[in-house]
Structure 1
């Protein structure tokens, strides 16, 4: 079934933090390309990490393409052709791991991710629409051509960036389902400063959800309560730790699992896609799956 058909039956469980799973397997992801580096250096490890989430109950796995952008690859001394190949591989490796047990969501990370300085958690209001279109255009073409089941536009701090990616998707693949999720913070605002209620209005007709990810779980209730969306919510918070961009690591203690009542509250507030982000491991996904189905 398509993701639209599956969502008509009930909520779906997303995976957890891919970087968390890869780090637990012994990989250093502190470089510019983060988990995307392993797409060419250790593809079997990408498959194993995805499969661990599927085994834990994830019904959707998100590809390792978050940090794979042409600008980012150039900064790392690689070529556009190598980036194209890794974007293709990200979908194919996720498909290999998912089999017929899970859908594949192609990750589209924000412009700020290629800077590798935590900009997705602070925003960048001076980046123009034209620059954002140039940044996202070719990578979206490659990801769409790889035929994912859905596109995950994620950790977006700026409403303008979300608008640009939605425009590009509607031009490139108007029938392809997608969701948009923002990095958000206290005060029911996305990290770029706009109210989440405003951000939640940017999605178009092919959207299956809008919401938040890589956001501290304690902020989610207020965010969902603040907004009225034309589609269900997607919620996949991080563990609630603090990210230090200097050392590219989460430095404060968080929680790798969410209480069942918390997950059920998100579901009851309209979240039809629920999972975890950084710091949420396979056990955390298993607990989410149990809570969603209860």
Structure 2
């Protein structure tokens, strides 16, 4: 099973909020490394969280490497070698959790994630190309070497960052499938301010999809309607709650799943890959699967 064959037979169900699954299992993820801490501290829990989503119908699982970056590990008092280990292990653990029933997408979180201050939801226009390239290059090399089925570049608030990562993927692994998803908001714009329609235009080469993740579900239809990408859409919104970067918690009322009519609307607007992000649990993934198979 490959991502190409999945998309050809689409629509495809993704997993849900990985941190949500781990928190449901009793883990405190308030530290700066978030889910990545458990790659080393509790690897069996990583496997179990992946498997729970596969059991719920997910055909793609996304690794726990979102928060695993060299800059982030050094800031947390860890070493680059520990980051190497965890990047490698994230793909292996996802493969174990997939149990031959799902493909593995290696998560590449944004520059803002290592700051652990919610920057992926506000943007960082003063961070230039050279710094973004330095942040992403070595991690991409390591994840590619771990042989995932594809790469999931996630929660980007800036068009420039997408352009940098796409260029690196073209250089490092021009035939490896990938998608890019942006952090977006009202007005069909990224959280960094650029129009979503502008952002999708930088995704090319081996891309299999482009879209949004960890975005409030109420914004998704407007975003999808605003652009005309060259590849299918991928969407995995959060549950609609608001993230508090100070307490590192989700506030206000969100949902653990989406209405079937909403899922089908996204499909009809061009979303071939649909899942959930923060707040969406395994039952929410089951609901997506049921909605798409009805």
The CA deviation at 1:177 is 0.2
Partner of 1:250, secondary structure, is strand
Counting only pairs closer than 5 Å after superposition, residues 135-150 of structure 1 correspond to structure 2 as: 135-150=135-150
Partner of 1:240, secondary structure, is coil
Q: After TM superposition, where is structure 1 displaced by more than 4 Å over at least 4 residues in a row?
A: none
Residues 30-50 of structure 1, C-alpha deviations (whole Å, 9 max, x = no match) = 001000000000000000000
The CA deviation at 1:13 is 0.4
The CA deviation at 1:9 is 1.4
Partner of 1:253, secondary structure, is coil
Rounded Cα–Cα distance in structure 2 between residues aligned with 1:256 and 1:56? 14
The CA deviation at 1:204 is 1.4
Residues 1:235 and 2:235 aligned together: yes
Contact 2:214 2:277 in 1 (8 A): yes
Residues 69-124 of structure 1, C-alpha deviations (whole Å, 9 max, x = no match) = 00000000001110010000000000001021000000000000000000000000
Rounded Cα–Cα distance in structure 1 between residues aligned with 2:261 and 2:32? 37
Partner of 2:28, secondary structure, is coil
Rounded Cα–Cα distance in structure 1 between residues aligned with 2:292 and 2:183? 22
Partner of 1:211, secondary structure, is strand
Counting only pairs closer than 5 Å after superposition, residues 128-277 of structure 1 correspond to structure 2 as: 128-277=128-277
1:33 is aligned to: 33
Contact 2:151 2:178 in 1 (8 A): yes
Rounded Cα–Cα distance in structure 1 between residues aligned with 2:4 and 2:228? 20
Contact 2:10 2:273 in 1 (8 A): no
Rounded Cα–Cα distance in structure 2 between residues aligned with 1:130 and 1:205? 22
The CA deviation at 1:233 is 0.3
Contact 2:51 2:99 in 1 (8 A): no
1:87 is aligned to: 87
Contact 2:153 2:181 in 1 (8 A): yes
Rounded Cα–Cα distance in structure 2 between residues aligned with 1:169 and 1:20? 29
Rounded Cα–Cα distance in structure 1 between residues aligned with 2:35 and 2:10? 31
Structure 1 unaligned runs (5+)?
Answer: none
Partner of 1:256, secondary structure, is coil
Rounded Cα–Cα distance in structure 2 between residues aligned with 1:2 and 1:256? 28
The CA deviation at 1:274 is 0.1
Rounded Cα–Cα distance in structure 2 between residues aligned with 1:6 and 1:241? 30
Contact 2:15 2:58 in 1 (8 A): yes
Rounded Cα–Cα distance in structure 2 between residues aligned with 1:177 and 1:209? 9
Structure 2 unaligned runs (5+)?
Answer: none
The CA deviation at 1:257 is 1.0
The CA deviation at 1:207 is 0.3
2:15 is aligned to: 15
TM-score, reference length from structure 1: 0.99
Rounded Cα–Cα distance in structure 1 between residues aligned with 2:132 and 2:101? 35
Partner of 1:68, secondary structure, is coil
1:115 is aligned to: 115
2:5 is aligned to: 5
